[in-house]
Amino acid sequence: MPIYEYECKYCEHNFEVLQNINARRKRKCPECNRKNALNRLVSVTNFALKGKGWAKDGYSKSASDNNKKEKTDGE
């Protein structure tokens, strides 16, 4: 389940909610109790594929090319 970040338009209260992707958006601010006060924010994801280790597992188009290069380098 994704974590959504919300901010109140009125009191600027900022909070996160673990919510099902099909769940309705939050509308009421838990801090000031105003309805239709929340904006859902766009947050940076924590997921990143770095380095060349993931290509060895076949998650890249060039994974077979990398395997061939490693074999020729090792000879």
Instruction: Write down the domain spans for the chain.
Output: 3-41, 45-75
Question: In the predicted model, what is the mean pLDDT of residues 6-24?
Answer: 94
Q: Rounded CA gap, 31 and 42, in Å? A: 21
State the average pLDDT over residues 49-54: 68
Structure tokens at 30: 């838990």
pTM: 0.58
| pLDDT (0 to 100) of residue 66 | 52
Average pLDDT, the chain: 79
The dihedral over CA atoms of 61, 67, 73, 75, expressed in degrees to the nearest 10, equals: -150
What count of Cα atoms within 13 Å lies in the side-chain half-sphere of residue 5?
A: 7
Percent of residues, the chain, with pLDDT higher than 70:
67
Give the side-chain half-sphere CA count within 13 A for 38.
22
Q: What is the mean pLDDT of residues 10-35?
A: 94
* End-to-end CA gap in the chain: 47
Average pLDDT over residues 43-58: 69
